[in-house]
Structure 1
Amino acid sequence: MLTKRETSFGNPDLITDQGNRYKLNFGSTEGHPNACPGHFICYIGRSGAQHDDVSLGDPDDFVDEGNRYRLNYGSTSGHPNACDGHFICYIPK
Structure 2
Amino acid sequence: ESQYLGLTRWDMETGESKDIRPGDPEGHIGARRNWTTWPDLSDPYQRLGNAMEPANWDGPYIISPHDTNTLYAGTSRLWKSTDRGDT
Query: Whose radius of gyration is greater, 1 or 2?
Result: 2
Q: Give the structure-1-normalised TM-score.
A: 0.30
